Amino acid sequence: MDFDDIARRGLVILGCGKMGSALLEGWLAGGLDPRSVCVVEPKPSDWLAAQGVGLNEALPEGAAVVLLAVKPQMMGEALPQVRGAVGKGTLVISIAAGTPLAAFEAAFGAATPIVRAMPNTPAAVGRGMSALVGNAAAGPADLDLAEALMSAVGATVRLEDEDQINAVTALSGGGPAYVFHLIEAMAAAGVAQGLAPDLSMKLARATVCGAGELAHRSEDSAEQLRINVTSPGGTTAAALAHLMDGDTGLLPLVERAVAAATARARELAG
């Protein structure tokens, strides 16, 4: 992407933990000049300190982009630190869950273009999924820029309205944890059938990783991929008879889980 405007006006990152660092790493790898980046981070990692960015220094006025990457519970205390960096034409991007656009408009003004982005932890390996939604002041160019920046760590989608971000938080935000638990469950099931724990975990991890990569690369739907693996009357079909049970199977279980997470996301958003 073209970093010319950022090079001229600067990019400010408020909070640079795992997700902020993953984004910064992607931008630097894409050609962003580290000298155009200012980071506000009270506990910088050794990696961050070695990148050549401005660290806890004076911030530029009217930066091109301000990324808010602190924990939601710290947002109210942290926002005043970057208020001076937000000027005319500054795009504010928040990757903090649970803090609505209205809270940022109250801090920076309703005329400030603001985009909420909901990435997930696979961003750390460049395979994240980020959902974006902007306020009324965020025009097509602002959303294009936010999408280009978030694309540094994976795929992106745009939402129609802000309320959808609660469901996104429940589905793709928490989704990696559900997949990790599936690995745990598969490994435990293998142990129950007589496999050694280390072997069973190795098989479960490799199977989930491989299936995910196949789903990523294939043009077939998830349904078709499942059918491709399932021989009528075979061993996989015997397992799917339980996993696809309409009352006790995986689908109703996951629906309940994602509904609970969505409800909790709404509660946290106030």
Domain boundaries, the chain: 4-165, 175-269
CA distances to 20, 115, 119 from 123, rounded to whole Å, are 10, 18, 7
CA angle 174, 214, 226 (to 5 degrees): 85
Work out the mean pLDDT of the chain and round it to a whole number.
95
Let me know if the fold of 4-165 is the same as that of 175-269.
Answer: no
Mean pLDDT of the 140-156 span: 96
**pLDDT grade, residue 162 (50/70/90)?**
very high
The whole-number pLDDT of residue 40 equals 97
**pLDDT grade, residue 1 (50/70/90)?**
low
**In CATH, which superfamily holds the domain spanning 4-165?**
NAD(P)-binding Rossmann-like Domain (3.40.50.720)
How far the first Cα of the chain sits from its last, in Å, is: 36
**pLDDT grade, residue 3 (50/70/90)?**
confident
The whole-number pLDDT of residue 34 equals 96
In this prediction the pTM is: 0.90
What percent of the chain has a predicted confidence (pLDDT) above 90? 90
8 A C-beta contact, residue 114 and residue 99:
no
Topology of 175-269 in CATH? Answer: ProC C-terminal domain-like fold (1.10.3730)
